[in-house]
Copies of this chain bind each other. A is one copy, B any other.
Amino acid sequence: MPNWIYPDFEPLPKRPLFLCIISNTDTGKIPGLSAAGTSPELTDYTPGADAELVETNRIITMPELPEAPGGSPTPAIVTKAALNLTGIPSLFVASGLRKKPAVPYAELGGSAGGDIRKGPAVPGARALYENGALLGKKLARLSDCVFIGESIAGGTTTAMAVLWALGYDVNVSSSFQSNPTALKQSVVEEAFSRAGISTGSLKNDPLKAIEQVGDPMMAAALGLMQGLRGCRVVLAGGTQMAAVLALGKSMNIEGDISIATTKYIVEDRTASFKEIVEAAGRSYYYSDPGLQNSKIPPVQIYAQGYVKEGVGMGGAALLAAINGFSQMQLVEETDRVLMTVELPKK
């Protein structure tokens, strides 16, 4: 057993597939909420740029590398490094995505999510769920173990909103080192008041929770989980994916479903990752990407709690570990990816 993942992940998948759902939500543009993209305007481009980085190591449709405040680069570099090492195929899945990447991806349709304070966030949640299920059913015929990550700026606030609507009294993580919990709470309270819902009032109506206060990533993830029954499913992410586990429980989705994340999320005291996963009745895995050993300072500070998760980095790192790569190999490949990524010419 590799010594940088916990607990052991068995059996070894034969034909693993790494999916990553890419979506936009206007909730992510509320100033101060999300750390993905250096300005609210650029957050629309972040998921597509993450896809471009992972698929080709080039940024094509965004003017710069997606960054968090503090200057840390997108966690897509860790995901890319893990997929480079293992050769595991990836497929990005657009769900309510405004700015499309210039690389191949699967399209589920839908519009970007709205600001949850102002109106129903995902009116087309059911259609996205159904398209996700349709795609999941096909992929279950081809793969025996599907990882599902996400890239959606502002997704932790909609995760908090959905968890509260389902009756979970919990906090969520942040890509900031210092979690803007109070701001998130006030956004969620405003959304609840607008939608006329209260804590736990949608615990038996997960699709309505997404429709009112969620985001398009959740609808796609829930549909994929449903369609992938019979196949092992590992959600790859922090509290956002834990919220999807909670949605799945509310919908009685059965199957071999778990979640994989980073040590940084598991150790985040401002968030309730373990509590949510346990309440949803699922098990979790985590990897320690060891990024303090990076030679690049903005990558080193991941280990101090910046960024923490995203683009399924924790799950991708786990895949590297179970395929026999060392923590140091992942760190070195992550540095190499960042040093060689091609940016648009200015």
Point out residues on A near B: beta carbons under 8 Å. 15, 17, 55-56, 87-91, 94, 100, 102-109, 127, 131-132, 134-135, 137-139, 141-143
Q: A105 contacts which chain B residues (CB < 8 A)?
A: 106-107
Alpha-carbon distance A29/B104, docked complex (angstroms): 27
Q: How many copies does the complex hold?
A: 2
Bound CA span A241–B115, Å:
47
| Nearest CB on B from A105, distance (A) | 6
- Select which of B17, B100, B103, B135 is within 8 A of A104 by beta carbon: B135
Q: Are A103 and B131 in contact (CB under 8 A)?
A: yes
Which interface residue of A91, A104, A132, A142 has the most chain B CB atoms within 10 A?
A104
A-B contact pairs, 29 of them (CB 8 A): A15-B141, A15-B142, A17-B142, A87-B141, A88-B141, A89-B137, A89-B138, A89-B139, A90-B138, A91-B138, A94-B107, A100-B107, A100-B109, A102-B109, A102-B127, A103-B131, A103-B134, A104-B106, A104-B108, A104-B109, A104-B131, A104-B132, A104-B134, A104-B135, A105-B107, A106-B107, A107-B107, A142-B142, A142-B143
**Chain A interface mostly:** mixed
CA of A15 to CA of B14 in the docked complex: distance in angstroms? 13
Additional A-B contacts beyond A15-B141, A89-B141 (5; CB < 8 A): A55-B134, A88-B141, A104-B106, A105-B106, A105-B107
Q: Which residues of B contact A55 (CB under 8 A)?
A: 134
Question: Could you tell me the distance between the alpha carbons of A55 and B106 in the complex, rounded to whole angstroms?
Answer: 14
Point out the residues of chain B lying under 8 angstroms from A127, CB to CB.
102
Q: How far is the CB of A148 from chain B (nearest CB, A)?
A: 15
